Amino acid sequence: MSGLLFLDNDSLLRARQLSTIDQTGAVVYLTSAATVQYTLTDSAGVALGGETWPQALAYVPGSQGFFQGVIRDTVVLPPAGSTVLATLTVDNGADQRGTLTGRLTVQERTW
């Protein structure tokens, strides 16, 4: 995962097509039965201020494993050009847990 995170703006964080593999080898997309949370850190792994971590991502009804949440503008971001790490923890029950990390580049929104 990679993307942009704009200074002083709310941002949508979306995890797409989270899935597992069943016993037959078929892809099974996660649903609202799964718990998906995220934490934002700087490049050194220090949690960003302005929010209590982790935050939940909600399942998008009717989707194929999409989960999303809002990163509020109150999160204290490093300067434009910096990298923020978004670490997702996924729990879909026994023997179906995982961690994913993506990079977000901080930018200043211009027009």
Per-residue pLDDT tens, the chain, 111 aa: give them.
568 889 999 999 999 999 988 889 999 999 999 999 999 999 999 999 999 999 999 999 999 999 999 999 999 999 999 999 999 999 988 778 899 999 999 999 887
Domain of 45, in residue numbers:
2-107
Residue pair 41/101 in contact (Cβ under 8 Å)? The answer is no
We report the CATH number of the domain holding residue 24 as 2.60.40.10
Based on the structure, what is the number of domains in the chain?
1
pLDDT at res. 2? 67
pLDDT at res. 64? 93
Helix H or strand E encompassing 6: strand 2-6
